[in-house]
Structure 1
Amino acid sequence: MPVPDRPAYLRIAEHLRDQIREGRYPQGARLPTMSELRAEHGVSEIVVRQAIALLRGEGLVETRRGGGTIVKVAPPVRRVAMDRYRVVTAPMAVPATTFTHDQRISWNEYRLDREFSRTRADAGLAELFEVAAGTELLRRRFVFYARGEPQQISVNYLPWDVVGDTPVADPANEPWPGGTLAQLSFLGHPPTRVEESVTSRMPTPEEAETLRMGGGVPVLTITRRLLSGPRILEVCREIVIPADRVILDFAIDL
């Protein structure tokens, strides 16, 4: 039996998708208008809207009020694990963190929103810290900005018996050059080991709004533990990064 034609909106979306990937419409370029696409493909406006909605759901384009449909600008950031941590543990001529290193931005282009609270370890955190449930912790939620744009959310936890009533527990001291690694060293517990596990999922509505994400884009979530000797001194649950803004590079010396 003959195979029926694919729906017109799928064919239009595929045509535009191929042109985007081939560079016909580079990042930041404006796609043809609705009227132009209707005339080119001989379809109704609703069909064109379905095609654009499909590309928007894939995270390829965004629609701006009065500005048409634009190919999304999302230059990927290279997050080189684990060598990136060596950068902030070395003597620094200028302030920096792993985030500013990844983003290739200066300290003046870096902004950090923060929320601090005192809490107790739930069952999941207790397992990650290898302590009893109910152990007191400092909870810190950060939103990281590069050049004014939100790029990353991080929620981390530190043992209250280590950081309580110290400058590390004061949000006024953020951002701290060198980040958490430098803070633990300041407290006399220099990190000796970093552990990370990476997963992916769709963002929560709050995460998508905070990070100004388009529809259809997943996030990478990183759970991190910092150890000083045998003791676990930080659990980050989680670092959340839009998947279309990052490349994870791994290098292992053999």
Structure 2
Amino acid sequence: MPDRPAYLRIAELLRDRIRDGRYPQGTRLPTMTELRAEHGVSEIVVRQAFALLRGEGLVETRRGGGTVVKVAPPVRRVAMDRYRSVTRPMAVPATTFTHDRRISWDEYRLDREFTRTRAGHDLAALLEAAPGTEVLRRRFVFHARGEPQQISVNYLPWEVVGGTPVADPANEPWPGGTLAQLRFLGHPPTRVEESVGSRMPTPEEAETLRMSGGVPVLTITRRLLSGPRVMEVCRDIVIPADRVVLDYAIDL
């Protein structure tokens, strides 16, 4: 068997050292000159190794700062408890997002875009409504401590939210989020349904969330029901896969 290409061997060595903790998060990797001397290879070989690790989301190259191990502490998203956390009385404003990130209200920012539109066939099926039903479309970008972390696009029946404070983007962020808004409208959620998938991000998502190359996203389709009626469809919640751990607990 012929030897593997040198860039693969160098990348494997660096990858192993990252994973076993010899190069912790935020640590600068050996310079290109040091790696060339250690392995007796050209600059282009070292660049190929770095490019491979960047594509895996393990490192990032900073202008004037070399190549460093990426710092991306995962957020734990506890599916059941996170919703319960905002249905109880709150001493301070919070949402499921601030709960997940363990940030204060002052460290939270929400970019928003509201549009009145009509549901196509797929969305109408999720809403259990007729195609063409009027809905309020809301696109949010969630920021924690100034960094974009999550995108979501949700839909609410226009006949429920039209002309109410919930349809006014000036009222965002709303303490308690969508669950609190539905309670305000007289339709308290009684059931949450989530479906989790994964894919590569679109160019716009990668740019908005400042993602490294090669990192997939988790996509969560959510429905909030009040009794038998679907009151919200979120399609999708988009989170970089290297920034989140999904925890699920089921009481038997």
* Alpha-carbon separation, structure 1, partners of 2:167 and 2:68: 43
> Could you give the per-residue CA deviations for residues 38-66 of structure 1, whole angstroms, max 9, x where no partner exists?
00111000000000000000000011111
Q: Distance in 2 between matches of 1:37 and 1:122?
A: 55
Quote the Cα distance in structure 2 between the aligned partners of 1:124 and 1:26.
45
Listed as ranges, the matches of 1:144-159 within 5 Å are 144-159=142-157
Q: Count how many residue pairs are aligned between Structure 1 and Structure 2.
A: 252
Q: Which of 179, 195, 198 pairs up with 2:196?
A: 198
Q: CA deviation at 1:188?
A: 0.4
Amino acid at match of 1:74: A
1:100 maps to a residue whose letter is T
2:87 paired with 1:103: no
Map of 1:207 onto structure 2:
205
C-alpha separation in 1, matches of 2:244 and 2:95: 17
Unaligned runs of 5+ in 2: none
Deviations 1:145-185 (A, max 9, x none): 00000000000000000000000000000000000000000
> How far is 1:83 from its partner?
1.6
CA distance in structure 2 between the partners assigned to 1:212 and 1:28 by the alignment:
17
Structure 1 unaligned regions, length at least 5? none
Amino acid paired to 1:63: T
- Cα deviation 1:196-228 (Å, max 9, x = unaligned): 000000000000000000000000000000000
Q: Which amino acid aligns with 2:184?
A: F
Percent of aligned positions with the same letter in both sequences? 87
Aligned to 1:87: 85
Q: Does 1:56 align with 2:54?
A: yes
Within 1, Cα distance between the matches of 2:25 and 2:73? 9
Residue 82 of structure 1 and its aligned partner are, at CA, apart by: 1.5
Give 3-state SS (helix, strand or coil) of 2:246's partner. strand
After superposition, the C-alpha distances for 1:51-88 in whole angstroms (9 at most, x for unaligned) are 00000000000111111101111000000012210000
- Given candidates 177, 180, 184, the residue that maps to 2:178 is 180
Alignment of 1:18-97 (within 5 A): 18-97=16-95
- Return the match for 1:112 from 110, 113, 129: 110
TM, length-normalised to structure 1? 0.99
TM-score normalised over the length of structure 2 = 1.00
Supply the distance in 2 between the matched residues of 1:31 and 1:122 (Cα, whole angstroms).
50
- Distance in 2 (CA, whole Å) between partners of 1:173 and 1:82 is 26
Matches of 1:76 and 1:131 in 2, distance apart?
37
| 1:136 paired residue among 134, 137, 155 | 134
User: Offset of 1:15 from its aligned partner?
Assistant: 0.1
Distance 1:177 1:29 in 2: 38
Question: Alignment partner of 1:134: what SS?
Answer: coil
Counterpart pick for 1:222 among 220, 223, 229: 220
Q: Within 5 A, what are the aligned runs for 1:238-253?
A: 238-253=236-251
Q: Pairwise CA RMSD of aligned residues?
A: 0.4
CA distance in 1, matches of 2:37, 2:173: 53
CA distance in structure 2 between the aligned counterparts of 1:124 and 1:63, rounded to whole angstroms: 41
